Structure 1
Amino acid sequence: MSQTKTQNKDAYQLILDAIDVGIYKPGDRLVESELAERFGVSRTPIREALQRLETQSLLSRDGRSLIVSSLSHTQLAELYVVRAELEGLAARLAARHATEEEVKVLRAMVKEDEALLGDPQALSRANRRFHKQVHLASHNRFLVQQLDLVHRSMALLATSSLAVEGRDVTALQEHSAIVEAIANHDGDAAYNALKAHISVAFETRLRSDAEGYANEV
């Protein structure tokens, strides 16, 4: 791979990761020169990365500036509907195709993540890792690709539902139920467990957002 192609890929991933971890939040303006300086990458790959992110609707235009996109209430609901169905399908297929080793890895992740309770940012990263492992355990490359797109859009959410008090504990319990259903090769149970997990996450986010609106009044 040429150095230019490597730089393009790195610039795109660097900006995407910065959005994902909240360095850049919805509404923040992204300036080509500032990004190049921050990441130590030349402006050409930064420019191409910004164009790619705009094409994917992760960035939007505000006059001549590019800003991190935000999701409306309707878009958020649409995203969670698609996510729940695709994630549920991934769990169902994982129950059918996951190897013993993959199940062991998933169980280990749940156990290790208990040490992260009380640290929403770290647990959010671990949560993404867990879900990605379920996706991979489906052994369906096309489904994994679609879920990558969905999770890319999840980066536009400024906060994690895991930051809500008590949600971290219940989320890990839900993860454990998902893993056990996969381990038992029970596709229906795995599908339902993961869909329910996403539903609770969505409800938690809605409640948190509603409290935020109340505080603004």
Structure 2
Amino acid sequence: MNQIRTPNKDAYTLILEAIDSGVYRPGDRLVESELAERFGVSRTPIREALQRLETQSLLARDGRSLIVASLDHNQMAELYVVRTELEGLAARLAARHATEEEIQVMRDMVSEDRVLLDDPSALARANRRFHKMIHLASHNRFLVQQLDLVHRSMALMATTSLAAQGRGEIALAEHKAIVDAISRRDEDAAYKALRDHISVAFVTRLKLDSHKID
């Protein structure tokens, strides 16, 4: 296993980022010794980080082992309720507070992300960057913190809704509508556009999950 040298990050952050980026997926077992080797840190901070992640329900017990947690149907529904409202608020505040430079970055993201339509994983990463830009453009640090927690839990979903046929194209059109509303400083339209975007993503994810049921 190749060692990842990241001296400026603690063990908690390293493991969290590995889960968020899909290095470790729901159901994967996390072993102290392997994590210590991968990240080039001692086992004590790894153990402390795992305990913290378990407390936050990002890890779960499977016998004596710790695995990356997964969300059941009800947990996913609850998460989307919170995400929908918080994301909508972020869009509303972005329409009020975003700088012209921030709006231009969002526009560029929508345009540049079109080349990723055939790569759902890359498009999912780009989607997170786009939403993060809206969060930051809200200029409300407490809202950004809460949305970070929500998106951290989103990593516990095994698939991305952008993997659905045609969803990427539709999502980018929705992104454009969100940016257009923010650029017009239309707070109500921005709020509605982002809430609708999350709602469609949730429906898409439910359909994807329904195909897994025997």
TM-score, normalised on structure 2? 0.94
CA distance in structure 2 between the partners assigned to 1:111 and 1:13 by the alignment: 31
In 2, Cα distance between the equivalents of 1:117 and 1:130? Answer: 15
Q: Secondary structure at the match of 2:107?
A: helix
1:188 aligned to 2:188?
Answer: yes
Change (3 A) 1:170 1:11: same
* Aligned-partner SS, 2:26: coil
- Unpaired segments ≥5 residues, structure 1: 1-5
**C-alpha deviation, 1:118, in angstroms:** 0.7
Q: How does 1:100-179 map to 2 (within 5 A)?
A: 100-179=100-179
Which structure features the higher share of helix residues?
1
Letter in 1 for 2:206: L
Structure 2 residue 209 is the aligned partner of structure 1 residue 209: yes
Question: Greater shift after overlay, 85-94 or 47-56?
Answer: 47-56
1:138-197: CA deviation from partner (whole Å, max 9, x where unpaired): 000000000000000001011111011100000000000000000000000000000000
In the alignment, the residues of structure 1 paired with residue 102 and residue 27 of structure 2 have an alpha-carbon distance, to the nearest angstrom, of 39
Which residue identity does 2:72 align to in structure 1? S
Share of identical aligned residues, percent?
Answer: 77
Q: Distance in 2 between matches of 1:14 and 1:81?
A: 28
Q: CA deviation at 1:137?
A: 0.3
Per-residue deviation at 1:7? 5.9
Q: Which residue type is aligned with residue 167 of structure 2?
A: R
Question: 2 CA distance for matches of 1:166 and 1:127?
Answer: 15
Measured after TM superposition, the shift of residue 15 of structure 1 is 1.3
**Aligned equivalent of 1:3:** none
Q: Which moved more, 1:161-170 or 1:57-66?
A: 57-66
Shift of 1:62: 2.0
* Number of aligned positions between the proteins: 209
Shift of 1:23: 2.3
Relative to the length of structure 1, the TM-score reads 0.93
